[in-house]
Structure 1
Amino acid sequence: MASDLLRLTVLGSATPYASVDNPCSGYLVSSGRTRLWMDAGSGTLAQLQRHVRLDEVDAIWISHLHADHSADLLTAYYAALYADIRLAAPIPLYGPPGIADRLAHFLTNSSTRSPVESAFAVHELEDGHRTRIGSLTLTSRAVAHGIPAFAVRIDAEGRSLVYSGDTAPCSNLTRLAEGCDALLCEAESAQAPAEAEQVHHTPEDTGDTASAARAGRLIVTHVGRFLTPQQAVARASARFDGPVDYAAPGATFSIG
């Protein structure tokens, strides 16, 4: 059935701040009755509700703690505990080490620590972390972003989606994406830095990673403000022979 397919819905893909028609990084991954909120950049909680209520989400997975990938966890906390949402149990939250204390630091405004664990059942990621969420199997690998950051491979019913998060080209991402049906890969940088540490992909890097991993298709996301989506797709296509699409806000992709 169509509902059993592995699907990716783009809630937002802007960086480093939301535009009037595009929230920051956030995606809904679904297969059958399983729904995963993947990255929670600013503006994505609003778009998530076009498809699913917060209390219908099976888990949240966060690549790293930059605000354009995680800021809406703060508003999700208030929704979960102090509004019309009634959780049967805290929402499983997978993220980098220290994510619970980071949230509590922002949310606490008194001597009493905010009860983030009442909203989220926190599981800290590590390189090679694997978990099962409903019909989805998630494998996370550490990637090169200058802070603790992770990419994830999601397998369901013989189909596979890999999300880079934010990262420079690195072997962990390439190995994670080996033979995947679709690679959702960032293309933040207009060009590679001459001297400073590289922490993002250029569009050419994105194409190279997809080619090296022998991905079935490439979906370019997190395109920097100095590029248009069309430019990013064209430049990635010069390095990758398969289909290349842009993660436009609101778009849904069937994987595999």
Structure 2
Amino acid sequence: MGLDLTVLGCATPYPSADNPCSGYLVSTGDTRLWMDAGTGTLGPLQRHTKLQDVDAIWISHLHADHSADLLTAYYALLFADVERGPIPLLGPPGIADRLAGFLTNGPERSPVESAFEITELHDGHQATVGSMRLTTAAVEHGIPAFAVRIEAGSSLTYSGDSAPCDSLVELARGTDVLLCEAESATKSEVHHTPEDAGETAEAAGAGRLIVTHVGRFVTPQDAVSRASSRYGGPVDFASPTPARGGLTR
């Protein structure tokens, strides 16, 4: 059994007409993980699974283009037609108070813990979601930010938002697929360039590279070409998935 990756969106820093911000559905067997919940991703998530069938949500960092749809998921879980208990939510330190700060509009704090069973991430955090094993590593983004390696027969490593760093290379060592951001057109202290993504994949010995979160000043075709100049394996762009995701194995 391997992993299926469905791209819900990968735009930055705001959604385009046909591409939400960062969000992915990772699934294997009957296990479903919503990985990053950027602006607009809850809609396409429902093309592939129901919110009540999501086993857990994993959030790389608290910038809105990776987490804003937690706010709409909160209303769906507590005040609409979604019937289930709190969804396990793994996210950066302070995620509960950040959500409550946005959602509270009165004297009483909004009950975010009634919608989400929250676990704060840390470097080296490990978790099991159904048949998936998740290992989290801290990465360089100027704020608390994390990458994750997911294993269930095959392996998928997701960079979140990060500058090139040793911790990401080590996390991705020998991974079947590296889903790596390539936001910056030029060198950055908080993001990869496409060339950086290729170098990270090469250093990690990844079997395949998928560039994602490509900035507005680089085309997907250019991002793939530039990444390929530094990495000898297959390179793809994370186009939003209209149907079931392709196998990572």
TM range (shorter): over 0.9
Structure 2: distance between partners of 1:167 and 1:42: 19
Percent of residue pairs bearing the same amino acid type: 70
Aligned partner of 1:178 in structure 2 is 173
Aligned partner of 1:136 in structure 2 is 132
Corresponding residue to 2:203 among 212, 216, 219: 212
Corresponding residue to 1:79 among 76, 80, 85: 76
Aligned partner of 2:212 in structure 1 is 221
Q: Does 1:237 align with 2:228?
A: yes
Aligned partner of 2:186 in structure 1 is 191
Offset of residue 250 of structure 1:
1.2
Structure 2: distance between partners of 1:179 and 1:80: 38
Structure 2: distance between partners of 1:242 and 1:54: 35
Secondary structure at 2:48's aligned position in 1? coil
Structure 2: distance between partners of 1:206 and 1:253: 21
Aligned partner of 2:60 in structure 1 is 63
Secondary structure at 1:141's aligned position in 2? strand
User: Over aligned residue pairs, what C-alpha RMSD do you find?
Assistant: 0.7
CA-to-aligned-CA distance 1:181-230 (integer Å, 9 cap, x gap): 0000000000104xxxx100000000000000000000000000000000
Superposition misfits of 4+ residues, deviation over 3 angstroms: none
Structure 2: distance between partners of 1:173 and 1:192: 17
Aligned partner of 1:17 in structure 2 is 14
Q: Does 1:91 align with 2:91?
A: no
| TM-score when normalising by structure 1 | 0.95
Secondary structure at 2:141's aligned position in 1? coil
Give the total of aligned pairs.
247
CA-to-aligned-CA distance 1:17-36 (integer Å, 9 cap, x gap): 00000000000000000000
Offset of residue 133 of structure 1:
0.4
Structure 1: distance between partners of 2:246 and 2:161: 20
Q: Does 1:48 align with 2:45?
A: yes
Structure 2: distance between partners of 1:247 and 1:138: 21
| TM-score when normalising by structure 2 | 0.98
Secondary structure at 2:207's aligned position in 1? coil
Offset of residue 5 of structure 1:
2.8
Offset of residue 151 of structure 1:
0.1
